[in-house]
Structure 1
Amino acid sequence: MATLKVPASVPSPAEDAEQLHKAFSGWGTNEALIIKILAHRNALQRKLIHETYAATYGEDLLKALDKELSSDFERAVLLWTPVPAERDAYLANEATKMLTANKAVLMEIACTRSSHDLFMVRQAYHARYKKSLEEDIAHHTSGDFRKLLVPLVSSFRYEGDEVNMTLAKSEAKHLHEKISEKCCSDDEIIRISTTRSKAQLNATLNHYNNQYGNAINKDLKTDPKDEYLSLLRATIKCLTYPEKYFAKTLRLAINKMGTDEWALTRVVTTRAEVDMQRIKEEYQRRNSIPLDRAIAGDTSGDYEKILLALIGHGDC
């Protein structure tokens, strides 16, 4: 359920590339034209524009945009323009760096992309950084975080709907026993979380809830200051109700003392072509305000315009 508005009749990649080149020429940059084109093209269309621009003008489009733009608007455009696998590879690499380290971003990418998409991210990471994503995560994390994150990003889950109810019951029992014993980094908890299909995991967690009277994430909330438990809860939420996870991430980004623009930009650019409609519905249900109003109240200028366009509130 994407929100991206693409016009019924889309100009050719050559025409779009020419218009973007014009937007960079002369006095000042034509930001409105950049938004009009890039914020209303899907991933394949943006890929063709990118390739056509390089072939026509001998310059990488992202480098041209980087030279012309600045601040939060620049980051939004530079994250939005590449194909999803390359965007995710960049975000994952950034999330391992000391100053921008963010384990939640790595977990997000691992848990909310399809098995095929996650495989494409690993390929793009390999091509761009000459290392594997697993290698970098193993190098930059330790202890329970490494134990959870490395298999998460290595996963290739079954995507179908088939469920083994006997297995769901036995794994729910094991999860409950280990959580009751406060052994939340138990190998089996990690194995179930990182290898089971989303349908199987949902069946296990539903049985857990029915059998033991509590949602698993409630039982994992024993110590709100425990960062590993927080990441494990977020993992389960991302695997089972991604729209709830992203709606909460957006609320925290917007409601902070000062906006967390990095989180806001990341969620909008990575989910606009995926499930933004569901995220918007969940956001309004939880916060009694439409997401577009919340964004408009907290951002301004071209940055506000591109975010609103990507969540479906801009003219084609």
Structure 2
Amino acid sequence: MASLKVPATVPSPSEDAEQLRKAFEGWGTNEALIISILGHRTADQRRAIRQAYRQAYNEDLLKSLDGEISGDFERVVLLWTLDSAERDAWLANEAVRKWRPGNRVLIEIACARSSKELFAVRQAYHSRFKRSLEEDVAVHTTGDFRKLLVPLVSAFRYEGPEINLTLAKSEAKMLREKISDKAYNHEELIRILTTRSKAQLVATFNHYNDAFGNPVNKDLKSDPKDEFLAALRATIRCICCPERYFEKVIRLAINGLGTDENALTRVIATRAEVDLKVVAEVYQKRNSMPLERAIKGDTSGDYEAMLLALLGQGA
């Protein structure tokens, strides 16, 4: 469920491109005009605006935006203006270059997207960075994280609803054995998480809970400071309940010491046309506060206005 609010009558891409050009001209940039256009256009409409802008002014809209705006506002506008596969490729490359064990961006991209979407990200990554995503992940990560992340970003999971209950039972038992033995990096455990369809994994995790009395993620919390265990839990949450996973990312971004603008920007920009409405509902239920009020209380200026536009406020 998308949250984006698009006006009933949308100007042509060339009209929007012309208005954006006007926002860049004269004394100072008209940030409100940028938000009123880009913050209320679908992916297809934004793509058409970029094409019209290039044809009219012989310049990439992203480059023009980069020269006119800055800071957190610039980051959210640029991420939003990109196609979803380009955006994920850019975020994946940034995550790889600045990789650290606590970074969950690669897990989000690998597990909260469909197989076709992840395949498109890999193609966009090839095209933009002249290397494969798998190659860069393998180069920049180490040890158990490499064992998990390379197959995750390489996956092309079956997307259908069919499940094999016998397999779910046997693999739930196998997961229980490995977790009980603290063999968290065992190749069988990683194989199950990185190759099975989401429907099959949900069946496996449901059987795990029924058979052993605990959700698998609870049994993976034996050492709260272990970043690899946290990565395994994030993988499972992104596969089974992405809206709850992303609610938690937003909550931690807002409730921590200072705001984690990068995390907040990433979730709002990547989920606005997917399930941000559901994420916002989960947030309100969990925190007894509407997400837009939390964002208003924690951000300001043009950055706040753009985030609220992507949440479906205004226009």
Bucket of the pairwise TM-score, normalised by the shorter protein: over 0.9
Q: Which residue of 2 aligns with 1:159?
A: 159
d(CA) in 2 for partners of 1:311, 1:196: 33
Using a 3 Å threshold, how does the CA distance of structure 1 residues 101 and 29 change in structure 2: closer, same or farther? farther
The answer to whether the 8 A contact 2:283-2:290 is kept is yes
2:293 maps to amino acid: R
Please name the residue that 1:136 is paired with.
136
- Cα distance between partner residues in 2 of 1:99 and 1:150: 13
Counterparts of 2:211 and 2:245, CA distance in 1: 25
Matches within 5 A, 1:1-316: 1-98=1-98, 103-313=103-313, 315-316=314-315
User: Residue 179 of structure 1: CA displacement?
Assistant: 0.3
Q: Matched residues in 2 for 1:44 and 1:102: separation?
A: 34
Q: Is the 8 A contact 1:220 1:229 kept in 2?
A: yes
Structure 1 residue ranges (4+ consecutive) displaced by more than 4 angstroms after TM superposition: 99-102
One-letter amino acid of the counterpart of residue 113, structure 1: R
Q: CA deviation at 1:51?
A: 1.1
The structural deviation recorded for 1:52 is 1.0
Mapped to 1, the partners of 2:184 and 2:88 lie a distance apart of: 28
- Structure 1: state its 5+ residue gaps: none
Sequence identity (%): 68
Deviates more, 1:118-127 or 1:101-110: 101-110
TM-score normalised over the length of structure 2: 0.98
Q: CA separation in 2, counterparts of 1:100 and 1:175? A: 26
**Amino acid aligned to 1:136:** D
Residue deviations 1:223-251, cap 9 Å, x none? 11111000000000000000111000000
Structure 2, unmatched stretches of 5+, are: none
TM-superposed CA distance for 1:252, in Å, is: 0.3
Q: Are the structure 2 counterparts of residues 102 and 42 from structure 1 closer, same or farther at C-alpha, using a change threshold of 3 Å?
A: farther
Offset, 1:102: 6.1
CA RMSD of aligned residues (A): 1.0
Contact 2:122 2:133 in 1 (8 A): yes
Query: Aligned-pair distance for 1:99?
Result: 7.4
Residue correspondences, number: 315
Alpha-carbon contact 2:47-2:83 (below 8 Å) kept: yes
The code of the aligned residue for 2:78 comes to L
**Which whole-Å CA distance do the structure 2 matches of 1:71 and 1:15 have between them?**
27
Q: Are the equivalent residues in 2 in contact too, given 1:5–1:312 (CA < 8 A)? A: yes
Shift of 1:103: 3.3
**CA 1:5/1:254 → structure 2, altered by over 3 Å: closer, same or farther?**
same
